[in-house]
Amino acid sequence: MPSIVVANWDLDGQASASMLIRSGHADTVFFPEVGYYWLEDVWIDSLSQYEYIYIVDMHIPRRDVKKLNTTSYVTIFDDSEIHPDYSGLNVTCVCSKRFSTTYILMDYLGIEPDVDAILGMYNDVGDNILTSEYWDIFSNYLEGIGLDIETLSLLKSYYNAPYYVNKVSLLYRNVRLLMDRIYDIGQLPEYEDMMSIIMDKDRYVMDIAGRVVEYDKYIYLEYEGKMYILGDLTRELTNRYPGK
């Protein structure tokens, strides 16, 4: 039963996708182009191979969800109550006005936070995270891995920095999420060790990103002689390297 997350490009979307993957609900992730809140037909064709599709932190038009819904079960998570009318479609919409989509998923899945979850919320609400009902849990978790709110701010800046450089940012996010699954940075005891692992992942990502092929306005990746749409490569690598 293959499953995929279609996620917004920001840290809240990334964190939400990461939570669905780490909890075993999804196998891989696809990030549309920055600024996209709809799906191109070529993406829909690729996504339709998945039985379960989770759309997070995005307002996808009804027409796109309807196309996906012909072959897949669709669940939407978003931190807004304003959405297109999905009536008549077999769609589950878990949407409410909350701190962030990450926050909604933590409640829905009933799971403890990790670094990605805290970064996702912090990206959307900044220091208002200190007033969250989860702050006691967050602060205990951060203390356990040697992070404080100032360091969290630095990590947020670090993870945001490369995403606006060029179109390989889409690939960057896909592969970074994969590498986060293989190397769980939340279990590292020291901040310096965490940053070392992040830098190693960056080098790995950019090595692959050097082989990006652009065709029209779509981005594909040539890897070992095959062409992949973003997300499908992550699925391939996740199956090959299932984690430690």
Residue 47: predicted pLDDT: 86
Domain interval for residue 147: 3-240
Give strand ranges (E) for 122-211.
none
Q: What is the CATH number of the domain that holds 220?
A: 3.90.1640
Q: Which residue in 232, 156, 157, 237 sits closest to 204, CA to CA?
A: 237
> CA triplet 200, 201, 205: central angle to 5 degrees?
125
* C-alpha 174: how far from chain center: 8
> CA triplet 73, 45, 52: central angle to 5 degrees?
20
Sign of the alpha-carbon torsion through 63, 64, 65, 66 = positive
If phi over 0 gives left and psi between -120 and 50 gives alpha, with beta otherwise, what is residue 110? Answer: left
Spell out the residues 6+ positions from residue 26 whose beta carbon is closer than 8 angstroms to its own: 3, 4, 5, 17, 20, 52, 54
Q: How many domains does the chain have?
A: 1
Residue 76: predicted pLDDT: 92
* C-alpha 12: how far from chain center: 8
pLDDT by position in tens, the chain (length 244): 588 889 887 888 888 888 888 788 888 788 777 677 788 887 888 888 889 999 998 888 899 999 988 889 999 998 877 677 888 888 998 887 777 888 889 888 888 777 778 888 888 777 777 887 778 877 887 787 677 788 777 777 766 654 444 455 555 666 666 556 555 555 544 556 666 766 676 666 666 666 666 555 555 666 677 766 655 666 666 666 655 4
The token pair that represents 44 in the structure block: 């829909």
Residues 147 and 73: their CA atoms lie apart, in Å, by 38
Spell out the residues 6+ positions from residue 27 whose beta carbon is closer than 8 angstroms to its own: 2, 3, 4, 21, 50, 235, 238
